[in-house]
Structure formats: structure tokens, C-alpha cells
Structure 1
């Protein structure tokens, strides 16, 4: 693995354990086996390393979700939506333990500078999720599973479910039962 990649891997691990302030450039250099100044040969500083680490994890999520939905594309549309919800919220098997810890730490950031940066980075992921969910709901309307005029509302409620279940999962709450109950009522409401 290249030094540049090792720095990102060590940052993800350290950030997940210690947060942004607890992850020093000096520590990263020691972990990677280089001098502190050599970090700046690869990156301008911690903010750039943080940005690249976030992008790496978000891109990994997007690729994994695309692959999953490709495998599941022949399943009924409601099952595709349920699988997407369950995967994003509960079964991030495609992320390492360090990447999950990093993601949890990002979710509780307090620095306004970092929050602003994360919001910009999340826009790509959010757009991907919105496009994916929209496509599935449009297909549901074409199959007369819901009225066309209900697509926007269904997408909004689905996104709220997704975001709330994701937040609950970050708190290490067992969300499987909650997901199953919410899904059943959500889908009944969409189809009525």
C-alpha cells in the first residue's frame, strides 16, 4: 500500500477512536513510519486528509449499494426499497470496523468548519440515495403500486425513515425489530 493510502487508513482508525482533535499529524506520521513533515508531501494538512477519508468511505458506500441493487434488481420493488433501507441502516458489511467508528464520530461532530465540509461531501451521497429511491418509486407508480402524485411524499417519508434508523443504529440500538414494524406500516401507507 502506498504511503498516501496508509496515511488515510491510519487517519480513519485514529479519528474513529480519538476524533479530529485527538488525531495529530505527528501521530499519523509515527504510525505510518515517516517524519511529520513528510505528511505534507502528500497532503496539505488534517482537513485535506479528513476530506479524502470521508470521500473514500462515502464512495465505498455508493459502490456497495449500486452492486447490491444490481444483484437484487429482479426482486419486487418494495423488497428493493426494504433491502436498501436495511443495508444503509443496519448491515454495513461493506465497511470495516474502523470505517464504521469513523462514520459514527463524523455523525457527532461539533466543529462548524468540519460540519460545513461534511455537508458538502454528503451532498453527493444524498443525491445518489435520492436518485436511487426516486427511480424505484417511479417504477412503483408505473406498476400501479402507488399513485403518481404520491411519489414525492413517499420519497420524503422514506428518507425520514432512512435517516432516523441510521441515527438509531449509530447509537448501537437494536433496530431490526423497529425497522420491520416501521416498514410494514410505511409500505401499507404507500400502497393504500
Structure 2
């Protein structure tokens, strides 16, 4: 009688696992219209690296909406740094990708996101960027928090420089129109 209960329990767990897998695969298919993020031509140029755990990518408007398309919802070990094409996420066991500088919206720290909740205000490094028409957040749990803070400062400097260049271009265009 006991073995029958064990078999029923195992079958129930197997069915539950299958339903979870089917649901996640369905989410990835529904999000299939999202563009695939680019990759780096040469990962050897990855500089100012931060090692840690890639937690997930979620919709910036809805922190509980994990982006499953193109493997962006898969947790993995990661090295984050700068490559020629922008910010590179070199992942182990999952698809690596690069966020172009023009797509970066901001960077900050957060207490957690879907897949990892730290409970303290600065546990995760969160990069906000554009994926097609959608703004998303990508969370990384740095192995060493000081490295994460340093990387965030570098990205903030990159954003300040980009915004200053934009203002110069806009001012040049305005001066050209008034001449």
C-alpha cells in the first residue's frame, strides 16, 4: 500500500513539473515577437568585469513579468562588463548578449526581482534598457558588492557622456536652423 502512495506522488510531481515547463515554454512563444538581443564578436575584449549570478530580465513596468524569450529569463552564472558594442552579459549555460549604449536607459540597485529577493536595498545590480519597443530590467547579483557599485558608476558616467553629446548635437542643430 505504501509503494502505491509513493508511485502516485511521483506521477503527481512529474505532471506538475510538466505543466510548469509547458507554461514557461508558452510564455517564451508569446514573447517571440521581441527582438533577439545582439551578441559580441569578441568576448575577449570584455573589460571591467563583474562576476555574479544573472537573475532574470523582467518588464520594467511589471516586475513580476519575466521575459522568457531568447533565454532572457534563464538564471545563470555571468560576467558583466564592457565590450565594443556596449554592455556585455557573458553567461555560462545560457545565451550571452550585448546591450547597445543607445538602448541603455539607466542603472541602479534593487532589493530583488523575480527569481531572487535579497531583502536589502542594494543587493542586485539592475540595468534598465530597451528591447525593441519594450523597456526591461536585467538583474545581476554581483559576487562582490563593491565591484557592482564600481560598475554602476561607470555606466552612469557612460550615460552622462551620451546625454552631453546629445545636447551638443541638438544645440548645433538649433544654431544651424537660426542661421
Decide which structure has the larger Cα Rg and report it.
2
TM-score by length of 2: 0.29
Q: Which has the higher strand share?
A: 2
TM-score by length of 1: 0.27
Q: Which of structures 1 and 2 has the larger relative contact order (alpha carbons within 8 angstroms, sep 6+)?
A: 1
Q: Which has the higher helix share?
A: 1
